[in-house]
Chains A and B, each alone.
Chain A
Amino acid sequence: MCLAIPAEVVEVEWPYATVDMKGARRKVRVDLLDDVRVGDYVLIHVGLAIQKVSKEEVEEIDRLWQKILEE
């Protein structure tokens, strides 16, 4: 229930979008996010996109690890 899966937006038909979850395609609602475009990464929870995630943010955790390890 708490699981949310990052997926890439491949088509937008407001308030829906088709997303690609590592090969599996699904139509989801995206109307609780602003300005969703093809190529965006979004977090999907039971059929609803709950947040946009950027590639940079996904990489952020690696930087945090490095920072701690260098402390």
Chain B
Amino acid sequence: MAEDTGRIVRKIEELSKGQEINLMHLCGTHEDTISKYNLRSILPQNVKLLSGPGCPVCIIPDTDLQKVFHLLENRDVILTTFGDMARVPFEDRSLFYYRSKGKDVRIVYSVFDAVEIAKREEKDVVFFGIGFETTMPSIAVAIKDSPENFYVYSAHRFFIPAIEALVSGDMRIDGFINPGHVSTIVGVKAYERYRKYGIPMAIAGFEPQDVLLAVYMLVRAIRENEGGIFNEYTRAVKYEGNVKAQEVMNEVFHPGDGEWRGLGAIPETGAGIRKDFEEKDAEKVFEDVFENFVPKVDKRKKHCRCGEVLKGLITPKDCRLFMTACTPRNPIGPCMVSFEGTCNIWAKYRIS
């Protein structure tokens, strides 16, 4: 395989000769593959791999986090969420901080584990839900099939409409490496709306060969000046995607404006819980608690450049906090917390 890799890289070199090419990936797991296998070092210097806003923990604005803290401070609930989210700090607090102070915060592997907790316990169980189209179908299934004392605080975001902000923005991106598992749900067809921009997109899996193959597909399309949607990850992504998963997701969640760290409000990306299921919507059920909620600004994050990292404008090394004040042991921004955050990944593989 090493020999084949060399041949693919030479083909990428030939096809990209004389051009500066910026490719953006849209999934934190792609950044992990790229950094782990040091793919940037084997690609020609004129082909740049930028990291995009594909880390669901990183793009959640502080307001959602503060609201969940506020709920914990004011109601005796069992708060469940994924491990990454529990470590994200606001000022000097995180969900783990609240747990150390005696609040009932539990880390789960899946939303169904949170449902099981609700079945066993009498207290109200709130699931702090984050994630994109890959995760939302499981949350939707849980919302439809859970006991009365189970609620969801939805900080989910629809990812596909967010690409609009990237293609129509002022950044020069020549091609996109699209997320493999979001695409497993939404299918190749979800990207049809972006054909009009003439920017090629390649859906890719998560092995190093998958990423290199996607780069090859994109460079070839750029060379021939054709747009197009390519599917490198055919072993998991169908044209129609998983239709049942799309149906249940759309039955439970409705699109609206969604706030993204670094990108601001993006239409159609917010994922509120539909009225039919409002008895499961923590924001509705605990409305009285949120009435007196006032968002604050974390002064510690003043110099954190996570927002620019998420837009591919800078690399972690351009941030003065990177591996000085902000480290994986003592993260300031979510890009350093999450396993899918570019700063955390660069720290892990000691990229310097």
Q: How far, in whole Å, are A31 and B27 apart by their CA atoms in the complex?
A: 26
Known: A43-B184, A48-B110, A65-B4. A33 touches B242 (CB 8 A): yes
Instruction: Report the contact-size class of chain B (Cβ under 8 Å from the partner).
Output: 35 or more
Q: How far, in whole Å, are A44 and B27 apart by their CA atoms in the complex?
A: 17
| B205, A61: Cβ atoms closer than 8 Å | yes
Known: A47-B113, A47-B138, A61-B213. A68 touches B8 (CB 8 A): yes
Count A interface residues, CB 8 Å. 27
Within 8 Å CB of A58, what residues of B? 235
Within 8 Å CB of A53, what residues of B? 235-236
Within 8 Å CB of B134, what residues of A? 1-2, 4, 45, 50
Q: B11 at interface (Cβ–Cβ under 8 A)?
A: yes
Shortest CB-to-CB span from A32 to chain B, Å, is 5
Shortest CB-to-CB span from A5 to chain B, Å, is 10
| B138, A1: Cβ atoms closer than 8 Å | no
Q: Which of A22-51 contact B (CB under 8 A)?
A: 28-29, 31-34, 43, 45-48, 50-51
Q: A13 at interface (Cβ–Cβ under 8 A)?
A: no
Known: A32-B242, A46-B111, A69-B8. A1 touches B28 (CB 8 A): yes
Identify which of B111, B134, B216 gathers the most chain A CB atoms within 10 Å of its CB: B134
Shortest CB-to-CB span from B329 to chain A, Å, is 21
Q: How far, in whole Å, are A69 and B236 apart by their CA atoms in the complex?
A: 23
Chain A residues close to B by CB (< 8 Å) = 1-4, 28-29, 31-34, 43, 45-48, 50-51, 53-54, 57-58, 60-61, 64-65, 68-69
Closest to A45 in B: B134
Residue in B11, B205, B206, B210 whose beta carbon sits within 8 Å of that of A68 in the complex: B11
| B184, A1: Cβ atoms closer than 8 Å | no
Within 8 Å CB of A50, what residues of B? 134, 137, 181, 184-185, 242, 245
| A–B pairs, 20, beta carbons within 8 Å | A1-B57, A1-B84, A1-B131, A2-B28, A2-B132, A4-B184, A31-B141, A32-B137, A32-B242, A32-B245, A33-B244, A34-B244, A45-B134, A46-B111, A47-B138, A50-B181, A61-B213, A61-B232, A64-B213, A68-B8
Chain B residues close to A by CB (< 8 Å) = 4, 7-8, 11, 27-29, 54-57, 82, 84, 109-113, 130-132, 134-135, 137-138, 141, 179-182, 184-185, 205-207, 209-210, 213, 216, 232, 234-238, 242, 244-245, 248, 338, 340
Q: How far, in whole Å, are A53 and B8 apart by their CA atoms in the complex?
A: 26
Q: How far, in whole Å, are A43 and B141 apart by their CA atoms in the complex?
A: 17
Q: How far, in whole Å, are A65 and B217 apart by their CA atoms in the complex?
A: 11
| B213, A1: Cβ atoms closer than 8 Å | no
Within 8 Å CB of A29, what residues of B? 112, 138, 141
Shortest CB-to-CB span from A13 to chain B, Å, is 14
Within 8 Å CB of A47, what residues of B? 109-113, 138
| B138, A48: Cβ atoms closer than 8 Å | yes
| A48, B137: Cβ atoms closer than 8 Å | yes
Known: A33-B242, A69-B8. A51 touches B28 (CB 8 A): no
